[in-house]
Chain A
Amino acid sequence: MNGLGAIIIYAAAVVLAAVALSRRDTSFRMGVRRALEQSFIVLPRMIFALIAAGFIVKLIPTEIIVGNLGTDAGFKAILIGSLAGLIVPSGPVIAFAVAASFALEGASVPALVSFLTGWSVFAAHRVLIFEIPLLGAHFVRLRMLSVIPLPIIAGTLALIVSGA
C-alpha cells in the first residue's frame, strides 16, 4: 500500500547517514543521538495511539453514514458530505471505500468532493497518532480552525465547475 513511501524513507535514512559520516565531524553522532531521543519520546506514545485507533475504527457505524447521505443534490448534500467527512477517523482504505459506496448510491459529485476534503483535512486518526505527539495540541487547534471552511468551499466550487 505504501511501498514507495517506505522505500523513500529508508533510502533517505541511509543517504543522510552517509552524508553525515562523510563530514568527519560530530554530525553523525549528533544525528544518531537526536533520532534516538526523538524515537524514545514518539514511539511509546504512537504504539498506544495506534492501538486506540484500531478499536475506534471498529466502533464507527459506517453503514449509518452511508444510509443518511441519500441522493440530495445542492448545498444540503455538500453540508452532509462535509460533516460525514469529519467523522470518518480512518485511513484511506475505509474513507475511499465509503466514498465509492456513496457514489454507487447516487451521491452528488459536490457532496463527494466535500466528503473527501473533510476527511483529508480533519482525519482524526492522524491527529491522534501523529499531530498531537509531534506538534502539540496548540498547533492542532490552530490548524483545525484554519481548515473548517475548506470542505464547504471545495463542494461549492465543485458545484460551480461541474454545473450540477
Chain B
Amino acid sequence: MTGDQRAGPVDWPELIKTSFGPSFWIFVALAVLMAGVCYAVLGPETFAAAIDRDRDLLADLLPRVAAAQVVAGFVWVLLPRERMSRFLNRHRGRRGLFIAATAGAVTPGGPASAFPFLAILAGTGADRGILVAYITSWALLGVQRIIVWDIPLMGIDFSLLRFLVGAPLPIIAGMLARRLPFSVTLETDPPIGVEDK
C-alpha cells in the first residue's frame, strides 16, 4: 500500500470523515429509536428475538456486501466507462429501456448485488429511465427470485401469470422516470481522492 503516485495513497482522515458523516448518524439514530420502540411495545423477549435476527442478518449479508464492493471496485477500474456510457447514450430510446429491463431480470443474487451494479450503471452516465427500468425489472422479474420464491410458494401457474403481466412494467416505469420533472443528483461520483493524479 505504498509508493505509486498514480494509484495514490488513501486519504484516511477524509475517508473517515465521510464514512461517519451525518447520514451514518441518521441510521444509528433510527436503529436506536426502533430498538427502543420494540422494547417498549413488544417487551424484552421479542426484543431479544429481534437482536438474534439482526445478528443473523448481519452475519449473512455483510460478507456478501463487502464482496460486492470488491466486485464493484474492480468493475469500476476495468470497465471502459466512456465506451459504455456512449453505448447507453446511443440507446436512449425505448430500446435502451428494453436492454436495461432484460439485464435486470437476469441479474443473479439479492439486493446486495443488484444495487451496487445499479450504482455502477449510474456512474457510467446511464439516464434515469435506464436506471429505473433496470432496478424495477430486477425487483419484479428477477429470474432467480421467481425460481426460489414464486414457484415453490405460489405455484407455477400463478408465477407465469405474474411474470406475464409484470413484463411490460419496467418499461412503463422507465418511461415515467424520463418524464418526471425532477433534477436527480446521484451519490455515485468518484469517492474522495480516487481521481487525483
Contacts and interface: CB of A to CB of B under 8 A. Distances in A.
Interface string A1-45: 110111011101100110110010011011111111111111111
**A-B residue pairs, 5 tightest by C-beta:** A5-B109, A35-B73, A136-B187, A16-B74, A54-B54
A53 B174 CA distance: 28
Interface of B is mostly: helix
Contacts of B77: 20, 27, 30-31, 34
B144 A4 contact: yes
Contacts of A54: 50-51, 53-54, 57
B68 A9 contact: yes
A70 interface: no
B69 to A, nearest CB: 5
Interface string A130-162: 111111101101110111011001100110011
Interface of A is mostly: helix
A9 B180 contact: no
Interface string A68-79: 000000000000
The range of chain A's interface size is 35 or more
Contacts of B57: 50, 53-54
Nearest to B33: A52
A84 interface: no
B87 interface: no
A130 B180 contact: no
Contact of A99 (B28, B74, B145, B154): B154
B93 interface: no
B169 A150 contact: yes
Interface in B65-81: 65-78
B179 to A, nearest CB: 9
A64 interface: no
B97 to A, nearest CB: 12
Contact of A135 (B16, B122, B172, B177): B122
A143 B64 contact: no
Given A20-B78, A30-B7, A135-B115, A51 B54 contact: yes
Nearest to B113: A9
Given A40-B15, A135-B118, A16 B10 contact: no
Contacts of A29: 4, 7
15 contacts: A13-B67, A20-B77, A31-B74, A33-B7, A34-B72, A38-B191, A41-B191, A51-B35, A55-B37, A100-B153, A117-B140, A136-B187, A142-B180, A145-B182, A158-B165
Interface centre among A44, A49, A129, A139, by most chain B C-beta atoms within 10 angstroms, is A139
A113 B52 CA distance: 32
A139 B126 CA distance: 13
A113 B154 CA distance: 10
